[in-house]
Structure 1
Amino acid sequence: MHINYLALGIPFMLLIIYLEYILAKKRKLMTVFRYESTVVNLSIGIADRFFDIFCSTIFYATYYFLYEHWHFFEIGDAWYIWALLLLATDLVWYWYHRLGHKINILWAAHIVHHHSEEFNYTSAVRITVFQAFIRSAFWSVLPLIGFQPKMVIPVLMFHGVYSFFTHTRLVGKLGLLEYVFITPSLHRVHHASDEKYLDKNFGDIFVFWDKLFGTFMAEEEEPHYGIVHGLETNSFLWQHFHYYLEIAVAFQRAKNWKDKWRAAFGGPNEMNPAIRRLLERKFKVMKVSSATNLMIRKYINMQMVGCVLVLMMVMFFYSDLSFVVYLLSLAFVLVTLVVCGALLDGRNYVLVLEGLRFGLLMPWLLYMLIGSWWISICSAFAGLFTIFLFYKHFVMREMKMSLF
């Protein structure tokens, strides 16, 4: 049995988030964390990690394939190559990041990272699988140049760890380090929705790319966070797909091919914000009510903990799991995350999703793991009955729902 100890990074990350929360509370900074935003941020992060279990294998295999068949230079692996590679990865990141803010079809994947109107370590994990594919496509240039994949992969992991720690309001300016590195202060500017701060500080580790290409700006007053035209829903699916739908509507409305091209490859500043409101009404994704009931929040918390545990187990033993078990686990977690967002918004369709979770996905997954339909079906009935009682006594009145 092969155990993937990278799964231990998840509790470490959650510990850092908890410590940030405790410190914010101690400093009486009550606006650093907001319950709904935290749940949504972590939901997106959990989904990304789950997809990444499988997709990272594809990315790494692609790097090795490109290097073995088409690399241009023999760069080697001397100690100074590590420093050169770190600079190269950050330069590629800068242009991937900058283009991701300037081209609609790329912004559709990256906008999810900027939705949160709170700026803390949970906002750092707002990455989607779409963004991961685009980012990996850009980074594929590194093995093509001649950097060895065995060096590229750990450097990219370092990038991910470093950028996580730049997402906080609790660290002020860091003196001389501000002249060399992207710090929390400089990255706060990047996440701002204030007009003066828009499209600034695209670097991931080093600040000199922004200074070289004219996109640098130091933090003056603390920014307002999020996107210019914010979302009015906590829907897990809407967070991921709304901008793709906006592009589709803009493309359909365009009267000539030039405008259609601009709808897909123009800038986000050219997108009509009225399209989003139109789509929100069409798909009825507007928030109906807020989950303020303590029992509902406890239930959501339990679902989030369950998702983290499933994620960790799949990460630990991925090499020994069948692909069907992986897909069922992924489906169960994704539906659970959609349920959490629906509860936050007070949406009635959460009842259908709960039936799907406990009536189909859970018994099927249990059967694949233990091989007993009898236990699986009994567990499904027990789960459905428990959910029925919980919704009847704690959710219906709060959310003004009806079971039938």
Structure 2
Amino acid sequence: MTSESFFTLSERIDEVFFFIGAAVLLIEVLEAIFKGNLRKKTLMEMLASASTQIPFLLVEIFVMTFAYGVLYMVSANFVSWQIPTTWVTVIVALVLVDLTYYWEHRIAHQVRLLWTQHAVHHSSRDYSIITSIRFGPFESLWALIMHIPLVLIGFAPDVVFGCSLIVLGYQTWLHTEVIGKLGPLEWVLNTPSHHRVHHGADAKYLDKNYGGILIIWDRMFGSFQVEEERPRYGLTTDFDSQNPIKVWFSELPALMKDLRNAKSGQEVWMRLFGRPGWKP
């Protein structure tokens, strides 16, 4: 196996998750029609979620393509050792990428500057498969930074990015309420039930279940919460807009206002890198 062939395989796996997600979306829509719940607001919310792909893809094309290229160049010219690409090393890389995703995700909830991007994913009051593609424009940049150490220790960039694609693709089917709890799988894997908790704005559900594929990281690092009552989705602050521009940049106006009103360099630092909601 080569790193290039593995990346091609990861793209095929991502396509499989896409089709699974499309099937679940069809079930969601049919269920809503059957129950009479397919309201105009629901459709507008879905369109707002889908619209986030516009700035996200523009950043991918004009910013991240260059950033990925730089990382490939660094790997080729400055990392003189490389871990061979075999099934064993790919599985190891997948586990490490999943662990990296856990911390990338957890930190994005705890650092306000990063939260301005990730909050876009959480701002919908509805919860459906379409939520899985609701991204902040610059989320990929933070993800790239977090994966740099894996390239520096010798994993080929194609292997790292391929594993990352699988971790993200896996999560597509988690964004639904039509799938209940999955028995023993709940102990090891991230499931729709676990991820519904993650999107909950209820106090008991806040900042829980960060995992990508495996839920064991949350169990190990003390951030696990089982789903009990149905979550109240969205942000703890009042956000209920379907205006695409407001959805894309929902957290930035408040951050800009706080930075303008900051009275010291320390306050500027804490406004940017402290927890969301921090006040002097």
Q: TM-score range by the shorter chain?
A: 0.7 to 0.9
Residues 1:113 and 2:144 aligned together: no
SS of residue paired to 1:25: helix
Deviations 1:342-376, CA, capped at 9 Å, x for gaps: xxxxxxxxxxxxxxxxxxxxxxxxxxxxxxxxxxx
Determine whether 1:259 maps to 2:262. Answer: no
1:269 is aligned to 2:269: no
Q: Conserved in 1, the CA contact under 8 Å of 2:28 and 2:178?
A: no
Is the Cα–Cα contact under 8 Å of residues 103 and 264 in structure 1 kept in the other structure? yes
Structure exhibiting the larger radius of gyration computed from Cα positions: 1
Whole-angstrom distance in 2 between the partners of 1:82 and 1:29: 46
Query: 1:242 is paired with a residue of what secondary structure?
Result: coil
Residue in 1 aligned with 2:8? none
Q: Is the CA contact (8 Å cut-off) linking 1:114 and 1:191 kept in structure 2? A: yes
- Tell me: higher relative CO, structure 1 or 2? Use CA pairs within 8 A at least 6 residues apart: 2
Contact 2:49 2:130 in 1 (8 A): yes
Alignment of 1:124-273 (within 5 A): 124-270=132-278
1:65 match: 73
Q: Distance in 2 between matches of 1:50 and 1:140?
A: 22
The amino acid across from 2:85 in the alignment is: D
| Aligned position for 1:25 | 32
TM-score by length of 1: 0.60
Q: Are residues 49 and 16 of structure 1, via their aligned partners in 2, closer, same or farther at CA, if it must alter by over 3 Å?
A: farther
Matched, 1:92 2:100: yes
Paired residue type of 2:152: L
CA contact (8 A) 1:189 1:218 kept: yes
Q: What residue number does 1:38 align with?
A: 46
SS at match of 2:249: helix
CA contact (8 A) 2:21 2:172 kept: no
Unaligned runs of 5+ in 2: 1-10
Alignment correspondent of 2:6: none
Root-mean-square deviation (Å): 2.8
| Paired residues of 2:119 and 2:136 also in contact (CA < 8 A) | no
For residue 16 of structure 1, what is the aligned residue in structure 2?
23
Contact 1:72 1:144 in 2 (8 A): no
Structure 1 position 215, deviation (Å)? 0.5
Cα deviation, residue 55, structure 1: 4.7
**Quick one: distance in 2 between partners of 1:229 and 1:254?**
21
SS of 2:118's equivalent in the other structure is helix
Distance 1:232 1:23, change over 3 A: closer
d(CA) in 2 for partners of 1:87 and 1:124?
21
C-alpha deviation, 1:256, in angstroms: 2.2
Once the 2 structures are TM-superposed, how far is the Cα of residue 35 of structure 1 from its aligned partner? 1.6
**Alignment partners' CA distance in 2, 1:14 and 1:170:** 12
8 Å contact from structure 2 (residues 211, 217) kept in 1: yes
What secondary structure, in the 3-state scheme, does the structure 1 residue paired with 2:180 have? Answer: coil
Q: Quick one: which amino acid aligns to residue 142 of structure 2?
A: I
Counterpart contact for 1:17–1:122, Cα < 8 Å = no
CA distance in 1, matches of 2:86, 2:58: 35
Give, in angstroms, the shift of residue 111 of structure 1.
0.5
Change (3 A) 1:164 1:231: same
Q: Report deviation, 1:19.
A: 1.2
CA contact (8 A) 1:250 1:271 kept: no
Q: Secondary structure at the match of 1:269?
A: coil
Q: Distance in 2 between matches of 1:68 and 1:161?
A: 27
Q: Which runs of 5+ in 1 are unaligned?
A: 1-5, 273-404
Q: Give the Cα–Cα distance (whole angstroms) in 1 for the partners of residues 64 and 264 of structure 2.
A: 39
Q: Distance in 2 between matches of 1:149 and 1:43?
A: 29
Q: Which amino acid aligns with 2:203?
A: E
Amino acid at match of 2:121: H
Give the CA deviation at 1:266.
1.0
